[in-house]
Amino acid sequence: MTRPILIRGARLLDPAHGMNATGDLLLRGGSVAACGGSIAPPDGALIVEANGLTAAPGFIDLHAHLREPGREDKETIATGAAAGARGGFTTLCCMPNTEPAIDSAALVDFIKQQAREAGPVRVLPIACVTRRRAGEELAEMEELASAGAVAFSDDGAPVATGHLMRMALTYAKQLGLPVIDHCEDYDITRGLGIHEGWVASRLGLAGYPSAGEESLLARDIALAEMTGGHFHAAHVSTQRGAELVRQAKARGVRITAEATPHHLTMSEEWVLGVHGAAEPAQPLVPGSYDTRAKVSPPLRSLSDRAALVEALREGVIDCVATDHAPHTFADKAVPFDEAAVGLTVLETAFGSLMGLVRDGALTLPVLVERLTAASARILGAAGDGLGALREGASADVVLFDEAEEWLVDASGFASKGKNTPLDGERLQGRVKLTIARGEIAYDDIGLPEGAAA
């Protein structure tokens, strides 16, 4: 049993229950024991003086690539969990595009065992829709759900055919789990890693059109409407995609959607090496063809980015998910067309998103809700007790400083992946303490050594 933890004098922010007030928070036995007001410390409690910091529910990431088994050179469950803790995440849902893919109960059990050994950060396995993610036949979905899978996805690739997606939605509905799809029409997009826009033209690269995402999104919406299954749209990146989600929700389709920190805060100009607006006449700079900014779906236009932020604010896009995709240096140190797609995100997500709060595009309670309670709702039964500070909820807490500025130094990441175009950027808003299931998972406050014992 861990010691009780009393966080004293924090700004308590729990959007799920309308809490936004200064007070104390007591964690005991892996649960929230009391929240709000002045709380007397129980015997033996570890007392954390918040000193103006904000306490919120631990962040929940519905979309992370932890690479284990098979690509431990890129990431392991242990290093991914450590990176998540540094970013304030107490729950990570890991995608099944591992080697071998997570398509059996034995592999779900393996993920759970590795997570138990890694520490207190919760790692929930997402299992394949199709065997080996080959897009030919459905995986044993009931077996996978019984083993502990919390959703199904072939992420890294779309569900290959409409028939397979229809069947997956039908079976997953019976199991009470969502099907998460990476919406990409490979006939239009295969091998392309930059948005089809003026930056692609300026760099002389073939572009990935928005329709390559939106056409599969429309297919999946139609199939969710037909079957009544829960379709979760991964990493929506376009204005039209957000509008398709909006219209589907208005019709009563059972759809939820996520957007990533990078699609909400970056745009196609980052591939050009410009971290902000630029003009078509922009000269090339030493940072042009930045493979660290190559991701799928690609970073879109500034207008797409603005539409995504607005859709997130409104709740049309339900939550933020990182799509954390660590790669080796060699994966990115090649010509742009040959580089792997994906960014390392877990440790920079909160700091980058806080820029939207400072700019007035989102309020802090809305941002926290989209990182916590909204994700817990999408998880259904697996999210019970998560994303809240109410009494009886899981003792998952992040303590952060809204104002602290810090320099991103990818070389110091806990993640094995250092592939972020934010390396060297200054962010404002920093995680100071992460508590997962009542245990300290990350400490940047400087608590006494052995304080959590």
| Active site (catalytic) residues | 323
Sign of torsion over alpha carbons 77, 80, 85, 88: negative
Structure tokens at 120: 């207190």
* SS3 state at 1: coil
Angle in degrees, 0-180, between the axes of helices 77-86 and 105-118, rounded to the nearest 10: 50
- Residue 345: partners with Cβ closer than 8 Å, 6 or more residues away: 260, 261, 262, 322, 323, 324, 325, 420
- Residue 37: partners with Cβ closer than 8 Å, 6 or more residues away: 23, 24
Cα angle 56, 62, 63; round to 5 = 125
Q: What is the DSSP string of 214-258?
A: HHHHHHHHHHHHHH---EEE-S--SHHHHHHHHHHHHTT--EEEE
Contact 155, 234 (CB under 8 A): yes
Structure tokens at 161: 């055919």
Residue found by looking up tokens 């998540």 in the block? 84
**DSSP-derived secondary structure letter, 31:** E
How are beta strands 319-320 and 397-407 bridged, if at all? unpaired
CA 231 – CA 120 distance, rounded (Å): 29
Structure tokens at 31: 């649960």
CA 276 – CA 267 distance, rounded (Å): 8
User: In 10 A of CB 306, how many CB atoms?
Assistant: 14
Q: In 3D, which of 147, 30, 149 has the Cα closest to residue 90? A: 30
CA 43 – CA 59 distance, rounded (Å): 29
Contact 37, 68 (CB under 8 A): no
CA 208 – CA 76 distance, rounded (Å): 30
